[in-house]
Amino acid sequence: MSAALADPPPALLPVAEHSIPARRVIFRQRDMHDVVPFICHGWAAAAVTLSDGSRQILSFLIPGDIVSSSLLFGPAAHCMVEAITEVHYRCFRREDLKSMLLTDPDLFDKISRLWIDGKLRAYDLAVDLGRRTADERIARLILGLKERLTSRGLAQGETMDFPLRQHHVADATGLTAVHVSKVLSEFRRRGLIEINDRCLTILKPVEFQRIATMR
């Protein structure tokens, strides 16, 4: 189960709410903020862009996620965030959160959990990118998303929303969109998964899981 601040502390009032259309950048790598934004609706991606234009997506953000958890501690976001679908998010003042943090040990634990989870996911990503094949990476991405969605009550059994384009999958797995297309086609051909209408269903959970955990 992944930690999330699905219910922000009731004493805390958002200072702003925003709505952003799909494919729009929410904020850039060098931006500074004194607010901490939480996603309440839609999907986004946190990414880094290299000077040759290639991108690495570090994490997909779904409802309940902090947009950039380093904003909890300082004004630097450190990565670019882009809306995938239409996104609604709410901002809280960092100063408010910080002072609550020091007085409310419960909130402190919640935030620590959030941080540790984020770091573990960053490490998992590194392991995937460093040591796994294209098939494994893609299967693991899908299963990881499904697990996170499930833990927030946002999945329906083996079916889940899947608004990602193949280039998102490519940018997240360190592959090219062309290769992602080939791997997904092969998954479909083998009857492992099905993608219709921006929804993904895992048809053979056991076999699919095996691909993700080959090593």
Partner DNA sequence: CGCAGTTTTGATTTCTGTCAACGTCTGTGG
Partner DNA sequence: CCACAGACGTTGACAGAAATCAAAACTGCG
Interface ranges with DNA (CB under 7 A): 23, 133-135, 165-167, 174-179, 181-182, 184-185
30: contact with its own copies by CB under 8 A: no
* Selected binder of its own copies within 84, 162, 173, 200 (CB under 8 A): 173
CB 138 within 8 A of CB 184: yes
C-alpha 37/C-alpha 177 separation (Å) is 30
* Selected binder of its own copies within 48, 100, 134, 155 (CB under 8 A): 48
- Residue 25: CB minimum distance to DNA, A: 14
C-alpha 206/C-alpha 11 separation (Å) is 44
CB 180 within 8 A of CB 173: yes
215 binds, among DNA, its own copies, none (CB under 5 to 8 A by kind): its own copies
Going through the chain in order, the beta strands assigned E by DSSP cover: 16-20, 25-27, 35-41, 44-49, 55-61, 80-83, 87-93, 155-156, 159-161, 193-196, 199-202
C-alpha 81/C-alpha 26 separation (Å) is 5
1: contact with its own copies by CB under 8 A: no
Residue 30 class from Cβ within 10 Å (0-12 exposed, 13-18 middle, 19+ buried)?
exposed
Three-state DSSP at 11 gives coil
Considering beta carbons, is residue 136 or 161 the nearer one to its own copies?
136
Residues 82-111 that bind its own copies (CB under 8 A): 102, 105, 108
Residues 130-149 that bind its own copies (CB under 8 A): 130-131
Q: For strand 87-93 and strand 80-83, is the pairing parallel, antiparallel, or unpaired?
A: unpaired
- Residue 126: CB minimum distance to its own copies, A: 5
112: contact with its own copies by CB under 8 A: yes
Which residues of the chain form contacts with its own copies (CB under 8 A)?
48, 50-52, 54-56, 58, 69-70, 73-74, 78-79, 102, 105, 108, 112-113, 115-116, 118-120, 122-123, 125-127, 129-131, 173-174, 213-215
